[in-house]
A = this chain, B = another copy of it.
């Protein structure tokens, strides 16, 4: 640590941001540190084009990462159909682990404040490159640009800062040292000085996902880094670039602050290498953050027993439709949620539970078919124009999703078919609009598992009571990241809230405007609950950070 002064300066430089974030996590009202609008009025005239150029400069080249490698890997292909061909240095598990364990003592010794300063500088650096990041997210995940900028850029940075704030708060809730003076009757009191060392668990592994490489990885990455754990970032083979850019700038900041860059390493894998599994079972790896399939998440939980494992897996998100005083607003809001990123969000609703006798609205009674048609019509409206549609849907992340759309058609009555859209700018992009099916509640086996992608079911139930029962059953068994209810009845709202508490899922009520069930706001909304099978943790709370380090104390008499 030759540059302790520099790293202390980083804390001072960013302490206002940290303090504001600490206030935000305690209040959980609205706050954001990184503007979500990509407008030139916010980011300056040349920012967008410069970021796009920076992104394009990576394509077809060796990614500029100062990590030694035994080979190079290039595994990405863009949902937008453009050639990526970025080559990343590949390292062996031994090399990665050795490097991480080697740098641990210095990063541990830096302490919470210096680490927070360095992490905040990394976030600031990433923010400077937000357009470059956004392009990388867009072209690896298939997200439309604005979403990639927001979810993949500004919101990801907000979530990172939120995790960092929790990590800092947790590490500093105890003093670094304390005097202890115990009265001893008539004699002198017993006096000791105690030092409380924050000790990281060990090496942290972050396993990224295809759809949200930054948003879903940043909280764990920065929570582990801030608590002193060197981090190995294993990106999804199809979404390496956003995390490579992240690691590149993080290493740059670490070196500037006088640390070894291997405090964070990229671990891209070759085809069928199963690098995540190899790393996950190493005894040195003591923390794992994973977002992805239920199967692999459960494998990690069952097998990586030496580590604390945080998983976000699949769920079956549901909406209970009971009644509404804004039928058009309801249909439009639901339609937006189904359409955004072609339903490829872990938070996209899947099952829309509607009484088969219909519902009451401010415009009078609507039959089941009218409700279903209202939602389908709203989706059609959002996706009718190709050029506008693609800015919402983005592209399909991989062939499995396209195949799932085909397969789903046979599992209900097609209410609105998915159509292929020609992307005006990217002729080889794979774009599909949402498929909406109707189903009967008796066919629960069809819709009680996740159909990841733009596939949803409007389910005819006997009554709202049956909708609630079905909600309890499916979410209780398979979990969910989100749930929503539409009702004008306080009793129904209360009953659904009780059910949501019982099955442990976050609930949104009567969303008819500019807030959507599949979006959560950093510093205010908890993402996932850790209280149902869809995830064993939340972004972000005390439990998400508190076991990433331990306190080791020493004491001696004064």
Give chain A's interface residues, CB within 8 Å of chain B.
25-30, 105, 108, 170, 173-175, 178-182, 184, 190, 192, 194, 196-197, 199, 201, 301-302, 305, 493, 497, 500-502, 504-515, 521, 524-526, 529-531, 538, 541-543, 546-547, 550-557
Copies in the complex: 2
- Pairwise interchain contact A192-B552, C-beta atoms closer than 8 A: no
Task: Decide if B29 touches A508 in the complex (CB within 8 Å).
Answer: no
Most chain B CB inside 10 Å of its own CB: which residue of A180, A500, A514 = A180
- Contact assessment for B547 and A30 in the assembled complex, using a CB-CB cutoff below 8 Å: no
- Contact partner, A178, options B493, B504, B505, B524, Cβ 8 Å: B524
Q: Given B28, B505, B543, which contacts A175 in the complex, CB threshold below 8 Å?
A: B28
- Is there an interface contact between B27 and A175, defined as CB atoms closer than 8 Å? yes
Contact A550 B525 (CB under 8 A): no
Asked whether, in the complex, the Cβ of B199 is within 8 Å of the Cβ of A557, the reply is no
How far does the alpha carbon of A554 sit from the alpha carbon of B305 in the complex, in Å?
Answer: 33
When the two chains form their complex, are residues B510 and A526 in contact, meaning their CB atoms are under 8 A apart? no
Known A-B contacts A194-B525, A555-B525; A504 and B199 likewise in contact (beta carbons under 8 Å): yes
In the complex the two chains form, what is the Cα distance from A512 to B524 in whole Å? 52
A543 smallest CB distance to B (angstroms): 4
With A26-B174, A28-B174, A538-B550 already in contact, 17 other A-B pairs whose C-beta atoms are closer than 8 Å: A29-B179, A108-B501, A180-B524, A182-B521, A184-B514, A201-B531, A493-B556, A500-B552, A501-B552, A506-B552, A515-B557, A525-B553, A525-B555, A526-B551, A530-B550, A543-B547, A547-B547
Set of chain B residues within 8 Å of A542, measured between Cβ atoms? 170, 173, 542, 546
Contact partners of A551 in chain B: CB under 8 A = 526, 529, 538, 541
| Contacts known (A28-B194, A196-B28); A556 close to B510, Cβ less than 8 A | yes
Identify 20 residue pairs between A and B in the complex whose beta-carbon atoms are under 8 Å apart, listed by A's number: A27-B175, A28-B194, A30-B181, A192-B515, A197-B501, A199-B504, A504-B552, A507-B553, A508-B554, A510-B556, A510-B557, A512-B557, A513-B557, A515-B557, A525-B553, A529-B550, A541-B551, A543-B543, A546-B546, A547-B547
A553–B526 contact, CB under 8 A?
Answer: yes
From B27, B108, B493, B554, give the contact of A497 (CB < 8 A): B554
Q: Find out whether the CB atom of B555 lies under 8 angstroms from the CB atom of A507.
A: yes
- Nearest residue (CB) in B for A547 is B543
Q: Is the interface of A mostly helix, strand, loop or mixed?
A: mixed
Alpha-carbon distance A419/B178, docked complex (angstroms): 41
6 closest cross-chain pairs (CB), A and B? A531-B550, A509-B556, A543-B546, A542-B546, A507-B554, A543-B547
* Residue in A28, A170, A557 with the greatest tally of chain B CB atoms within 10 Å: A28
- Say which residue of B170, B502, B506 sits within 8 Å of A553 (CB atoms): B506
Q: Which residues of B contact A529 (CB under 8 A)?
A: 199, 550-553
CA distance A179 to B514 in the complex (A): 16
User: How far apart sit A512 and B557, CA to CA, in the bound complex (Å)?
Assistant: 9
In the assembled complex, which residues on chain B have CB atoms less than 8 Å from the CB atom of A506? 552-555
Question: Which residues does chain B contribute within 8 Å of A546, judged by CB atoms?
Answer: 541-543, 546-547
A482 to chain B, nearest CB (A): 11
- In the complex, the chain B residue whose C-beta lies closest to that of A524 is B180
Which residues of chain B have C-beta atoms less than 8 A from A28's C-beta? Answer: 174-175, 178, 180, 194, 196
- Write the chain B residue with the least CB distance to A509: B556
Q: Using A507-B555, A531-B199, A541-B546 as known contacts, say yes or no to A190 and B524 having CB atoms under 8 A apart.
A: no
Of the residues B530, B531, B550, contact of A504 by C-beta under 8 Å: B550
What is the distance, in angstroms, from A248's C-beta to the closest C-beta of chain B? Answer: 31
Instruction: Identify which of A25, A105, A108, A546 gathers the most chain B CB atoms within 10 Å of its CB.
Output: A546
A31 CB → nearest B CB, Å: 9
Nearest-neighbor residue (CB-CB) of A493 within chain B:
B556
| Residues in B whose Cβ lies below 8 Å from that of A30 | 180-182
Closest to A517 in B: B555
Nearest-CB residue, chain B, relative to A530: B550
In the complex, the chain B residue whose C-beta lies closest to that of A542 is B546
- A495–B304 Cα gap in the complex (Å)? 32
**B residues in contact with A26, CB < 8 Å:** 173-175
Question: Nearest Cβ in chain B — how far from A1, in angstroms?
Answer: 15
Minimum Cβ distance to chain B for residue A333 (Å): 11
- The contact of A180 among B29, B199, B531, by CB within 8 Å, is B29
